Structure 1
Amino acid sequence: MFDNLSALIAISAIALGFGALLGYAAVKFKVEGNPIVEQVDALLPQTQCGQCGHPGCRPYAEGVTEGEAINKCVPGGDDTIRALADLLGREFIPLDEEHGQAPETKMTAMIREAECIGCTKCIQACPVDAILGAAKQMHTVIIDECTGCDLCVEPCPVDCIDMIPVAVTPQTWSWNAPDGIGNRPGNLIPLRNIA
């Protein structure tokens, strides 16, 4: 009886010792994330579309900070490439059209609900969970969440998903100013009373 108890105490003491050693090592040798990766990731559109050749925006941000080309983000287009070039001190390179062409207007998916068979293939393909529905039930798209990545269209067996332009509202409208003017904080152009 005493042998079992002393063995249990010895094993517990060894486990506590190793636990304390691992805890100390975790604190002492903690590796901080690369802050440049965080900044690059913040500039990317977060569509998680994979058109750049990476499974999402974060892995592409890591690749860019390691020297990969900054011109592979199709949804971000030239504006994102310019922002990345400014941040990283690199030369601006136009979008690599091997990965696709940037849309002229922001697009969103729309499911023709009367034709939807509820197969859930679009839900599985959506990288940002912008599609609601259940098996054998009609699906619908949360417009505000949809990034327009187009990944839900191809898996649809009944071809009931269309990519449509996002409607311009007072919240989404912006003035397409010439480079260097407008749209950026601090560069707002005051309106004057013309009358």
Structure 2
Amino acid sequence: MSLTLAERIDALLPQTQCRKCGFEGCKPYAEAMAQGAADINHCPPGGQAGIAKLADLLGVAAKPLDPSCGTEGPRLVAVINEADCIGCTKCLPPCPTDAILGASKHMHTVIAALCTGCELCVAPCPVACISMIPAQANEWTSEDAERSRRRYQLKNQRLARQEAEKVERLAKQKQLLAKLKTKTQL
């Protein structure tokens, strides 16, 4: 099976799902590049090496990273100061790979090996107990990217399934209420 241009572009992206490119994740950014609607220099986690790979694939000249998207830097991971964590769970939904563990009113922690360094968990934290520190392994490998892509896909599948189940539950409740209403009117 031959890959589409968008799939080949997506395979070169780091799969951090950080949204710094201005898209909702790596795949939408890849699709926009394939359609000519986005430039190759909007991915800070991919940096100049990523831009060079994209330029080579697309047969265009490499260019510097667009500074409006951020800057290239060392690989980071989120760390939660567990003593300050209030268990609000606001960091859980934005994490693209479910790398944060925790429950309501209980301390949370980050599984560093699964953290993409996207920083999406930092802003929602009401007590500023999440910080970004340099990762022990500075290099983000293609294996890391593939694991991140798969975890992101699994999270999206889980969320879609939960939403479908919620819609189904609500439809059943409406049916029951309609039946009850009909019975009380008789």
TM-score w.r.t. the length of structure 2 is: 0.71
For 1:173 and 1:35, the matched residues in 2 are separated by: 24
1:80 partnered with 2:54: no
For 1:94 and 1:64, the matched residues in 2 are separated by: 16
Structure 1 pair 81–156 and aligned structure 2 pair: CA distance change class (3 A): same
Find the partner of 2:40 among 58, 62, 70.
70
Q: Deviations over 1:113-161 (max 9, x none)?
A: 1110000111112122111111111101011110111111111111101
TM-score w.r.t. the length of structure 1 is: 0.68
Structure 2 gap segments, 5+ residues each: 142-186
**Secondary structure, counterpart of 1:61 in structure 2:** helix
Q: Kindly indicate whether the alpha-carbon contact (under 8 Å) linking 2:6 and 2:34 is maintained by their aligned counterparts in 1.
A: yes
Q: Kindly indicate whether the alpha-carbon contact (under 8 Å) linking 2:78 and 2:132 is maintained by their aligned counterparts in 1.
A: yes
Q: CA RMSD in A?
A: 2.0
Deviation at residue 50 of structure 1 after TM alignment: 0.8
Deviation at residue 173 of structure 1 after TM alignment: 9.9
Q: Which position in structure 2 is the counterpart of 1:125?
A: 94
Q: Deviations over 1:17-58 (max 9, x none)?
A: xxxxxxxxxxxxxxx996211111011010111111100000
Q: Deviations over 1:83-116 (max 9, x none)?
A: 000011011011000111111x110000011110
For 1:135 and 1:33, the matched residues in 2 are separated by: 45
| Equivalent residues in 2 for 1:93-172, closer than 5 Å | 93-103=63-73, 105-168=74-137
Structure 1 pair 173–46 and aligned structure 2 pair: CA distance change class (3 A): closer
Structure 1 pair 132–33 and aligned structure 2 pair: CA distance change class (3 A): farther
For 2:35 and 2:137, the matched residues in 1 are separated by: 37
For 2:3 and 2:67, the matched residues in 1 are separated by: 29
For 1:86 and 1:149, the matched residues in 2 are separated by: 25
The structure with more helix, counted as a fraction of residues: 2
**Secondary structure, counterpart of 2:91 in structure 1:** helix
**Greater RCO structure (CA 8 Å; 6+ sep):** 2
For 2:26 and 2:140, the matched residues in 1 are separated by: 25
Which has the greater radius of gyration? 1
For 1:173 and 1:161, the matched residues in 2 are separated by: 21
**Secondary structure, counterpart of 2:77 in structure 1:** strand
For 1:159 and 1:35, the matched residues in 2 are separated by: 42
4+ long deviations beyond 4 Å: none
2:97 maps to a residue whose letter is V
2:72 maps to a residue whose letter is A
Q: Which position in structure 2 is the counterpart of 1:189?
A: none
Identical-pair percentage? 56
